[in-house]
A and B are shown apart, each in its own frame.
Chain A
Amino acid sequence: MDRTRDTFFALLVLVGLWEICALLLDSMALPEPWIVLLDIIAALAGGNLLDDLAISAVRALLGLLLAVAAAVPLGLAIGAEKPLRKRLSPFIYLLYPIPHVVLLPLIIILFGIGNLSKIFLIALIVFFQILVTTRDAATNINRNYYYSMQTLGASRLQVYRHVILPACLPKILTALRISVGTSVAILFFVESFATTRGLGYRIMDSWGRADYVALYTGICSMALLGFTLYLILDRLERRICRWNRTG
């Protein structure tokens, strides 16, 4: 509860700063927060803001889920199995640092200009972030945990289930939390073309029409989306990694 209150207070401070800047600047490009708030309410009630929010949320979530589903098992295996690590780490080393956004043309050729390529690009970029963190976490598990399992007669699969996965979960969830920011940024990028739906489109569209209030409505909605995803992951981490806060 303390945290909720502190977060709310921080939000008030930020909005207050916004208000001060808006008053000082006195520019069309920075409307006052209450005007934006009214526009958000109007867009929620009458317009299709909720639709845009929903479609953006689905794109981001599917991208994240796809990335996790692929990166976590692969990262765990590469980290924990020495031969795999030896063979596959060089590929990660080469492929991770390249800016995957530039693959967009190729992805569009392969998957078309619809939702699939948007989701795929988000997934691709987040995939590498999660993969590298997961691999590193799985590489650095203390040897004694493995010995403990061995003395209890565990199979390899049981070692994954009882040691490797739980030991890496806190790091995976932290990486995922960081990836939320990335996924929303990519979302903005992929929604700025070849679509008429989503918050990214909303932002680009109102920018083009020089409708600054609508622009800020889009920006705030996107921020809200990012924050909500972050919050969900934060809760999830507190839940599954309760042990991590005790030691």
Chain B
Amino acid sequence: MITVHSVNLSFAHNGATLPVLRDISFHLESEDYCAIIGPSGCGKTSLLFLLAGLLQPDSGTIDITGSPRSGTILQNFGLFPWKTVSQNIALGLVLQKRPPHEVRRRVDSLLEEMGLSGFGEHFPGQLSGGMQQRVALARALAIEPDILFMDEPLSSLDALTRERLQNLIVDIRQAKGISTVLVTHSIEEAVFLGRTIIVLSGRPGRVLQIIDNPDADTDNFRQSDTFFQRCIAVRQILAGEVDGPHA
């Protein structure tokens, strides 16, 4: 349902133009789950912004059919520090002017679902990194999106918390039947959460390879041989890029 065709993007920087994305094309089906991986600064965030409609490409097209509702988790500063956890989660609904009792009910059930019960009146600054990420996830889910765009939602977390939240993302996606597009620079995360893995080159980002990863949703995938082989494959593609002529 998302078709990206020959997209180019550049930024003006001190008078010069800085090409950021070059000739990006890919296609995602509905209920697909996709991981975008690439070296730092290659334009992953910019690509996600394009998909979420926060930026417009210089050329090329992005077609999203069926006008799905989207929820977005930004890389940093997604949460509003001046709002409590509950107010943050409720924001999307409040902006849509939903009736207060409905907002309340939805927020309470999301707090519960995300393991945040009892923290509704805390401010984001009072929570651990993992809890903040769950709040961000809850806020994006509050408006019941069809697509979830996530920009390195778990990058600041320790390994175990990270795996737990990765599992949570899988559970949510399966339970609610939503598509997810996840930006990451962790190879394991991309392989675990991406049915389609889009590997980008260093800046300006080009699509190096699109890897089909149909096993991503199977039980105990993280412990399977396929998982490790996919990780190695992705690592080789990225390493070839880093050691290559661009380095």
Contact = CB atoms under 8 A, between A and B. Distances in A.
Interface in B45-98: 49, 52, 54, 70-72, 74-78, 80-84, 91-92, 95-96
B74 A162 contact: no
Nearest to B149: A151
A91 interface: no
A158 B95 contact: yes
A133 to B, nearest CB: 17
B123 A243 contact: yes
A148 B74 contact: yes
Contacts of B95: 152-155, 158, 162
Contacts of B125: 243, 246-247
User: Which DSSP category, helix, strand, loop or mixed, fits chain A's interface?
Assistant: helix
A162 B96 CA distance: 13
B74 A144 contact: yes
A144 B71 contact: no
B81 A247 contact: yes
B74 A147 contact: yes
A242 interface: yes
Contact of A246 (B70, B77, B91, B123): B123
A229 B91 CA distance: 34
A148 B77 contact: yes
B117 interface: no
B143 interface: yes
A243 B82 contact: yes
Nearest to B139: A152
B244 to A, nearest CB: 32
Contacts of B78: 144, 148
B16 to A, nearest CB: 21
Nearest to A143: B77
Contact of B126 (A167, A241, A246): A246
A246 B71 CA distance: 27
A166 B77 contact: no
Contacts of A9: none
Nearest to B72: A151
Contact of A151 (B54, B84, B96, B124): B54
A150 interface: yes
Interface string A134-153: 00000000101101101111
Contact of A144 (B52, B77, B83, B91): B77
A212 B71 CA distance: 70
B49 to A, nearest CB: 7
A157 to B, nearest CB: 10
B125 to A, nearest CB: 3
A163 B92 contact: no
B95 to A, nearest CB: 5
A151 B52 contact: yes
Given A246-B125, A247-B125, A151 B70 contact: yes
Given A153-B92, A153-B95, A145 B70 contact: no
Nearest to A147: B54
B92 A166 contact: no
Contacts of B84: 243
B241 to A, nearest CB: 28
A244 B80 CA distance: 11
A150 B53 CA distance: 9
Interface in A219-247: 241-244, 246-247
Contacts of B82: 166-167, 169, 241, 243-244
Nearest to B52: A151
Nearest to A242: B123
A166 B123 contact: no
Contacts of B143: 152
A242 B82 CA distance: 8
7 contacts: A144-B78, A145-B80, A150-B54, A166-B82, A243-B125, A246-B123, A247-B81
Interface of B: 49, 52, 54, 70-72, 74-78, 80-84, 91-92, 95-96, 123-126, 143, 149
Given A152-B95, A247-B123, 18 more contacts: A142-B77, A144-B77, A145-B80, A148-B72, A148-B77, A151-B54, A153-B95, A153-B96, A154-B95, A162-B80, A166-B80, A166-B83, A241-B82, A242-B123, A243-B81, A244-B82, A246-B126, A247-B81
List 5 A-B pairs, minimum CB-CB distance, nearest first: A247-B125, A151-B72, A246-B125, A144-B77, A166-B82
